[in-house]
Structure formats: C-alpha cells, structure tokens
C-alpha cells in the first residue's frame, strides 16, 4: 500500500479497517 509509505502501517491498517467497517 502506498499509504504505508507515507504513514505507519498500523495507522494505514486502522484507516482501512474503519473504511471497511463503515462500508465505504
């Protein structure tokens, strides 16, 4: 993920989980 390059993997993963959780 390009997101991991700019942010910590934990942060990027957290955002990804939230996006899937909200269904967006």
pLDDT tens per residue across all 24 residues of the chain: 555 565 566 776 787 778 777 665
Provide the pLDDT for residue 21.
73
Provide the pLDDT for residue 16.
78
- pTM beyond cutoff 0.75: no
Cα 11 to the center of its chain, rounded Å: 6
Residue 23 φ/ψ region, left for φ over 0, alpha for ψ in the -120 to 50 degree band, beta for the rest: left
With residue 17 as reference, give the H or E element that holds it: helix 9-22
């Amino acid at each position: 993920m390009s997101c991991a390059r700019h942010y910590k993997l934990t942060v990027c993963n957290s955002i990804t989980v939230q996006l899937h959780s909200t269904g967006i």
